[in-house]
Amino acid sequence: MQNDSDRFFVLTGGPGSGKTTLIEALRHAGFATSVEAGRGIIRDQSAIGGPALPWHDRALFAELMLSWEMRSYQIAQEQTGRPVFFDRGVPDTLGYLRLSGLPVPEHIRVAADRFRYNPRVFVAPPWPEIFAQDEERKQTLDEAERTYHALAGVYTQLGYELVPLPLVPVEARLRFVLAETGLA
């Protein structure tokens, strides 16, 4: 019987590197996908005047990210036998805390160990040509690059093999991911 982690593929990297666009292409191709926690939390918290925003309370924002990612994982388990592509994963929370210079609580380390994904993680390198800020993405390109390095370090420390996404149009990235996962 196949392990859930074998069919759970993470796409990670810094903001503005084309991850969500690729996730959308995978969804349009018929694959199950997750929704990125960060943007969802920012939208929800902004709509209600909540405090869990990265520019107000980074630790609280990280706790909501963790909860969101664990729930996304549990929802994906209901997609019996189908591959699922995640727009970030539980380890991204650990990377976010490290990047922010905040302590990593033990429960977040435990979650990163327990919620496992396919051993090969797709990482989107910084891509200055497509990077743009907006109402939800307030990071600078420099912070996006530091995020990429923090996340790559966390996934590597957790024993994942990083598969860098090529800096090519989304259709070519889609073909690359499908070929790398054996789903082409």
Domain harbouring 21, CATH code: 3.40.50.300
Residue 61's Cβ-count burial label (10 Å; 0-12, 13-18, 19+) is buried
pTM here? 0.91
Collapsing DSSP states into helix, strand and coil, what is residue 22?
helix
Those residues with Cβ within 8 angstroms of residue 87's Cβ, 6 or more apart along the chain or in another chain: 11, 19, 20, 23, 33, 34, 35, 36
Write out the residue range of the structural domain in which residue 100 sits. 4-181
Question: For 99-110, b where at least 16 C-beta lie within 10 A, e where not — what string?
Answer: beeeebeeebee
The arithmetic mean of pLDDT across residues 153-166, rounded, is: 97
Q: Look at the chain and report how many structural domains it folds into.
A: 1
Residue 114 structure tokens = 């327990």
Confidence band, pLDDT 50/70/90 cuts, at residue 131: low
> In whole angstroms, what is the distance from residue 153 CA to residue 2 CA?
28
- pLDDT of 2 > 60? The answer is no
- pLDDT of 1 > 50? The answer is no
Residue (of 93, 25, 87) closest to 61 by Cα position = 93
pLDDT at residue 7 in the model: 95
- pLDDT of 135 > 70? The answer is no
**Average pLDDT over the chain, rounded to an integer:** 91
The arithmetic mean of pLDDT across residues 133-161, rounded, is: 84
